[in-house]
Structures are given as C-alpha cells and as structure tokens.
Amino acid sequence: MTDTLTLAALGWAADFMRQLSLEELATLTPCRIAAVHRNRLDVRTPGGAQSLLPPAQGTTAALAVGDWGLSDGTRLIRPLERRSLLARRAAGTGAARQLIAANVDTLFITTSCNADFNPARLERYLALARSAGVRPVFVLTKADLSAEPEAWSARAAAIDPRVACCQIDARAPGAALADWCGSGQTVALLGSSGVGKTTLANALTGGAAATAGIRENDAKGRHTTTARHLLAMPAGGWLIDTPGMRELRLSDAGEGVAATFDDITALAATCRFADCRHAHEPGCAVQAAIAEGQLAPERLTRWQKLDREDRYNSETLAEAHARDRAFGRMTRHASREKARRRDV
C-alpha cells in the first residue's frame, strides 16, 4: 500500500502514547496489527502495510487483530496495553482464551426487524460488549422490509434505553452509522446468521470485506500484504472482521451481565436475605417489583439464565486454571526432585 495516514487515523490515542519511554519514542515505530499468523504479523503503519516477526520472547498467540505494538521495522518489539479486548473460550480446550479483536471502540450488535429479534440474545451480546470494554450499539437491519421499523426500535429501547439504536437497510446504510465509523474509530459486527453482517460489512468498507477473504487464499501469492482483518472504511474508520468475531460466546462476563441487568442487581441488593434467589423468599425486592408491574418476569428469567450460563463457563475456566496451576506445581516439583537426585 502506498497511501499514508496519520497515527490518529489508525486509531492511535493518548492511552497508547503514554506507554512509550523516551528511548522507544526515538527508535521504534507504532504499528497496528491487521492479521495474526503463527510466525508472522501483518501490521499497518502510517506509511503502509508491513509484515513483521513476532516478539523475540513469546509467540503471536498473545496478540490480536487491532492490537498496537512497537516495531523496529523487522520485528514487533512489544505490544502495548489495550483499551478493550474481545475474546472467547477456545473450543474444547478448557482454559485457553482465544483473542479475537483488540482496541475495538464500538460493537454493532446486529439483528433484523423480523423474527430474528430476540431479547435474550441481545442482552447476551450487551453483556459481552460491556465485559470487553466496548461500546454497544444496536443495529436493526432489514428496516426496508418491515412495515413498522419503529416498533423494533422500541423493543430495543425496552432492553436498554441507554444503548444507541439505528434502523437501516444493510445494503445502503448511508450515514446512519457515521457517528461510530469516522477517522480513527474501530468497529466490529456481532449478530446471528442471516441478519446482514456480510452485507453491512461490504457496505461499510466499500466492498473491501468481500475481497478480503479471497486475497487471503490467493494461490498465486498476490495481495499478500493486504491488511486483511483491519478493513478501512471510506468514512475514515476501521472494521475488524475476523471469522471468530461472529461466534463469540459468553464467559467471564459477570460484570457485563450485572451492568446489563443493573435494574435487577439494584433491586436484588435490597432483598431481605443476601443469598435471596428471588423465588419465594420473604422480603424479596425483585418479586415485589414484578408484583407491582415494574419488572417484566421474563426479564428476571433471562437474567437468571444468562447469569447461570456465565457462571458455568467461568467456573469451568477457573477450574481449568486451577488444574493448570496444579500441573505447574507438579512439574516444578518433579524438576526439583530430579535436580536433587542429580546433586546427591
């Protein structure tokens, strides 16, 4: 790529600048990770795209698309602390967290103005965004096919009136999402199959999303330095579109769940018993709010389900970590034993 950008246009901010020593400032160049391979990183710098070696200690596994790092031109010397991180549990492997995208500013929680609309799913995505430190925005697609798109917006507002909500035709969103797509802004898309994520990704990137995957597999080796998962939007921002991004599940999102259901958590704090299960206990403030029509019983059920789901996934993680620690102790003990035997 020959086009030049400012660091700010790439998403650079004071939070990152503060992390650099004077020496690093003089000798190294900030760069943003656009694709993570096993032994190599594709990065974007103000001067264009580059391919770098991973940090001398460690692998690329600790890095995600969207991360900022410092480069000496050949190698990523060190990554910088991130502002937000979307991650998921790697399938079937207990403890491992797979990093999906870093430094995302806004998550477009995408659903359509039709039967796909599912409050429980949207609350799950909200909890996920909040636990990752990413601003959620509801994007309601297929507004052009709905007789009453406003009714769907009202349903979204009922889930959380603080979350911005836009109704669009994903094929031609116009300027509806411009507030979040401007220079230096980073967005990602989340939503179930068929809601229009691919359509919207293409519209937001001027078609770049459609060709990114093809370039990746180009057998003749063309376009190999294209910044594949960090896609430039004509509006000046960046869309992070990785395959894993679209299949995020909830885990370790306790804070996000609590924030998404802060109406219920505030009520629960005033129940008579600290361990109230909000079923038939005397002095239950949650049941009282339901009886007074201030809280929909379905919302309590959805909160309980999501809370259980997150606890289940997180506990499994914690158990796996404990197992890893025990394994670590065991191997350390074994090597000490070996050293001891060698010494006698």
Ligand X SMILES: Nc1nc2c(ncn2[C@@H]2O[C@H](COP(=O)(O)OP(=O)(O)OP(=O)(O)O)[C@@H](O)[C@H]2O)c(=O)[nH]1
What residues make contact with ligand X under the rule CB under 6 A?
Answer: 141-142, 144-145, 169-171, 191, 193-199, 246
Closest to ligand X by CB, 39 vs 193, is 193
Backbone φ, ψ for residue 329 (5° rounding): -65, -40
CA distances from 27 to 22, 72, 164 (A): 9, 7, 42
Kindly state whether residue 276 participates in binding Zn ion, applying the rule CB under 5 A. Answer: yes
Q: Which of the ranges 106-114, 227-235, 266-274, 302-310 carries the binding residues for Zn ion, by CB under 5 A?
A: 266-274
Query: Which of the listed partners (Zn ion, ligand X, none) does 193 bind, with a CB threshold of 5 to 8 Å by partner kind?
Result: ligand X
The residue with tokens 């959380």 is 160
Nearest to 95 by CA among 251, 200, 260: 251
Query: Which of the listed partners (ligand X, Zn ion, none) does 196 bind, with a CB threshold of 5 to 8 Å by partner kind?
Result: ligand X
Binding residue per annotation — 211? no
Query: Which of the listed partners (Zn ion, ligand X, none) does 217 bind, with a CB threshold of 5 to 8 Å by partner kind?
Result: none
Binding residue per annotation — 141? yes
Binding residue per annotation — 3? no
Closest to ligand X by CB, 43 vs 201, is 201
**Min dist. Cβ of residue 259 to Zn ion (A):** 19
Closest to ligand X by CB, 69 vs 136, is 136
Count of residues near Zn ion by CB under 5 A: 5
Binding residue per annotation — 199? yes
Binding residue per annotation — 276? yes
Binding residue per annotation — 278? yes
Binding residue per annotation — 113? no
**Min dist. Cβ of residue 153 to ligand X (A):** 14
**Min dist. Cβ of residue 215 to ligand X (A):** 18
Binding residue per annotation — 72? no
Kindly state whether residue 127 participates in binding Zn ion, applying the rule CB under 5 A. Answer: no
Query: Which of the listed partners (Zn ion, ligand X, none) does 69 bind, with a CB threshold of 5 to 8 Å by partner kind?
Result: none
Quick check: 226 and 212 in contact, CB under 8 A? yes
Binding residue per annotation — 220? no
Closest to ligand X by CB, 111 vs 260, is 111
**Rounded CA separation 72/122 (Å):** 43
Q: Which of the ranges 164-172, 276-284, 301-309, 320-328 carries the binding residues for Zn ion, by CB under 5 A?
A: 276-284
Closest to Zn ion by CB, 88 vs 278, is 278
Q: What is the separation, in whole angstroms, between the first and last Cα of the chain?
A: 63
Type of residue numbered 200: L
Among 70, 284, 289, 300, binds Zn ion (CB under 5 A): 284
Query: Which of the listed partners (Zn ion, ligand X, none) does 169 bind, with a CB threshold of 5 to 8 Å by partner kind?
Result: ligand X
**Rounded CA separation 47/30 (Å):** 11
Residues lying near Zn ion in the complex (CB under 5 A)? 271, 276, 278, 284, 286
Binding residue ranges for Zn(2+): 271, 276, 278, 284
